[in-house]
Amino acid sequence: MTKPLFILGLIAPLFAAPALARDPVLSPPIDCTLGDTCYIQSYVDTDPGPGAADFTCGTLSYDGHKGTDFALPAVVDLWNGVNVLASAPGTVTGTRDGMEDFPQGLEGAPDITGKECGNGVVVDHGDGWVTQYCHMMNGSIAVKEGDRVSSATVLGQVGLSGLTQFPHVHLSVRHNGKIVDPFNPTGTVACGPDAIMSGTLWDRDMVYQAGGLLDVGIDTKVPEYEAIKAGTAGATALTAQSPALVVYGFAYGSRAGDVLRLSIFGPEGEVISQDAELDRSQAQLFRAVGKRNPGSWPMGGYSATVQMLRDGTVIDQRETRFQIAP
């Protein structure tokens, strides 16, 4: 479950290594490549007070968040059908299906009171361990109560049901009814690399990325934010007479003081390059800069680059190339 809001380099690479002799051992609950076709938007909130912090004392959480959100970069990605997988062997003890895929916060959103998880599945792994999978696609639930599952079993597909504004699967892990952070199962109060020294519940190294870029694109005007989040923004064709060239960057996990550096280069060199300083932490955001047509754009190949900088260091960068035709 989420609150309303939205790879190359890392500030400090943190690898969450598997814990030894810990039950259960979990695999990621989504069939994707982390850092490429999916990313982690939010972690379990480790701050016991009114604030929020992820397991590294970073900002990728919000107050009271009780799981890990494995997200897709854009809404359009979920229509390709991304499978949700059981994270460990067990028995299905509950399911829900039939809820509409409709982001909360938009006009016409359904009432999800008491059903914030949306379409989902609960799996019992024995010895008091339970996992829950939320926000799955309407009509996609592929298991029923009593089914035995393995870590390769498809439970359903990533969706937009329940209390969410972006496509993801929310994984909650509980032991004897208590929430457990799979990145920090001991609950040790530590920050940075020390936060994972005692191990995790994962069956593999999991890279922690403290914010980054989800998309970069080119348009002839500043796109609507909803179109950027949907993955439908961007010009399909550009000519020498296009009224403007605008580069936009879609990012997540920003902190106050971060900078998005947006640039366009063409056959004759730099078209525009500008830094947009970010004044607060945000789960998702976008920035755009552009230049009006000076009379005629030079024809040929162009590139648009967006860099995300933190404390003067590039933590992520994405590029797109395009052509200006007659």
Parse the chain into domains and list their residue ranges. 1-209, 212-324
With H, G, I as helix, E, B as strand and everything else as coil, classify residue 94.
strand
Cβ–Cβ under 8 Å, residues 214 and 40: no
Angstrom distance (rounded) from CA 46 to CA 205: 21
Taking the C-alpha atoms of residue 111 and residue 108, their distance in angstroms, rounded to an integer, is: 9
The DSSP bridge partners found for residue 145 are none
- CA 188 → CA 23, 191, 197, 280, distances in Å? 18, 9, 10, 28
For the purposes of burial, counting CB atoms within 10 Å of the CB of 146, is it exposed (0-12), middle (13-18) or buried (19 or more)?
A: exposed
Fold topology of 212-324: Immunoglobulin-like (2.60.40)
Listed residue (130, 29, 129, 145) closest to 96, CA to CA: 145
* 1-209 and 212-324 share one fold: no
So what's the pLDDT on residue 11? 40
* Alpha carbons 231 and 182: distance in angstroms, whole number: 30
* CB neighbours of residue 38 within 10 Å: 22
Give the Cα separation of 175 and 32 in Å (integer).
Answer: 26
Two tokens, residue 243: 């009224």
Single-letter amino acid code for the residue at 261: R
> Digits of tens for pLDDT over the chain (326 positions)?
333 322 333 344 566 666 544 568 999 999 999 989 999 999 999 988 888 999 999 999 999 999 999 999 999 999 999 999 999 999 999 999 999 999 998 888 999 999 999 999 999 999 999 999 999 999 999 999 999 999 989 999 999 999 999 999 999 999 999 999 999 998 876 787 667 666 899 999 888 899 999 999 999 999 999 999 999 999 999 999 999 999 999 999 999 999 999 999 999 999 999 999 999 999 999 999 999 999 999 999 999 999 999 999 999 999 999 999 99
Is the separation of the CB atoms in 174 and 121 below 8 Å? no
Query: Are residues 71 and 40 in contact, defined by beta-carbon separation less than 8 angstroms?
Result: yes
Contact 228, 221 (CB under 8 A): no
CATH number of 1-209: 2.70.70.10
Find tokens 């982690």 and name the residue. 40
Helix spans in the chain (H)? 75-78, 225-230
- The predicted pLDDT at position 3 comes to 33
Question: pLDDT value at position 67?
Answer: 97
Helix H or strand E segment including 320: strand 313-324
Q: Under a CB-based contact definition with an 8 Å cutoff, are residues 166 and 105 in contact? A: no
Residue 90: per-residue pLDDT: 97
pLDDT computed for residue 22 by the predictor? 54
Q: State whether residue 324 is helix, strand or coil.
A: strand
Task: Give the C-alpha separation, 209 to 11, whole Å.
Answer: 8
Residue 326 preceded by cis peptide, ω within 30: no
Give pLDDT, residue 193.
Answer: 65
What is the C-alpha to C-alpha distance for residues 122 and 86, in angstroms, rounded to an integer? 9
